[in-house]
Structure 1
Amino acid sequence: MRHTTTIAALLLTASLALTGCTTDNKTATKPATKPSAPAKPVKLEPVWGPKLDHAGGTNAVAACAQPSSNACGRYVGDIMTVVNGLDKAIKKSGQKYPASTKEIAKIRSDAADYKANGCQGDPTAEDPNSLCHGVVGVTVGTTTLDLALTTDEIRM
């Protein structure tokens, strides 16, 4: 019996020595871990720039030369869909986009005025003194927003 106990103790000691385990927690070593490097901010302009260009661009500017047209109303809706998506992407990124955020606010304000003034379908919207010509801020806003987005990302 004494041999069995001695053999078991020797096997346990050998096993601990081979696996590097120890019963003393103070001398146990932990594997070295590298500190994680901060992640590079994801650039939004390569994704959202083309979307802004597609939603707005020269076709939207031309269509909204007649603010009452259904085509202008559709462009305003398309532009706002992209602008709202970009705004969500900016918030999700956790990065600061001050120039872009300012442009988004301007575009939203101009789109709200276009809607509040009942421009789409109103023949008086074509009058040069009509408040509906502010829709240019929405259509041209896609270009200025793209530039603001680029500027913000250069500053990161």
Structure 2
Amino acid sequence: MNRTISALAATLALAGTLAACGGDKLDPSSPKQSVSTKASAAAKPKKLADAYTDKLEAVSDGSVADCQSPSSTACSNDLDAIMTVVDDLQNDIDANGGAAEYPKSTKQIAQMRAAHQKYQDNVCEGDPTADDPNSNCWGISNITIGSTTLTLSLKTDELTREAQ
């Protein structure tokens, strides 16, 4: 009987050890897993191009056509929507290395902001003279087309980051 109990205890101990060592699933509360998950997240920088390409495409969809009349409310609304996404992107760029990590994107954002400021300074929305091709309101293409350029700049900056 003693041998049976000893054998049963040894078998249970061995089974417990094997279960602890041989399981394929990792315990999410395990400190070892938390550290390795955090380390891999730190090693892999956030891909802003993945996060912002669709957003920029969505808000800029139709903006080139809408802004054939810079004086229109539709154009103004499109520009504001694009610049809202651009502001969010700038915040993420600042949180992920800033202009040093995203030089082309930062330059493109600066051009877009300057064009938006010029549009606002010239009070283009609602001004019929804004639609004249010689008006100071046509720099908005730096925003409408610039949103596509910005996605390309993001991808280029991130490819450069990965290569380093």
TM-score for both structures, normalised by structure 1: 0.74
What does 1:54-93 correspond to in 2, within 5 Å? 54-57=58-61, 59-93=62-96
Q: Greater Rg, structure 1 or structure 2?
A: 1
Unaligned runs of 5+ in 1: 1-32
Matched AA of 1:46: D
Residue identity in the other structure for 2:54? P
Distance 2:93 2:70 in 1: 30
Choose which of 43, 50, 54 in structure 2 pairs with 1:46: 50
Q: Distance in 2 between matches of 1:99 and 1:129?
A: 29
Alpha-carbon distance in structure 2 between the residues aligned to 1:55 and 1:108: 16
The corresponding residue for 1:140 is 145
Identity between Structure 1 and Structure 2 (%): 45
Greater RCO, CA 8 A, separation 6+: 1
Mapped to 1, the partners of 2:143 and 2:44 lie a distance apart of 31
List 4+ stretches of structure 1 deviating above 4 A. Answer: none
Q: Match for 1:120 among 102, 114, 125?
A: 125
Q: CA deviation at 1:49?
A: 0.7
* Higher share of residues assigned helix: 2
What TM-score, normalized to structure 2?
0.71
Across the aligned residues of Structure 1 and Structure 2, the Cα RMSD in angstroms comes to 1.7
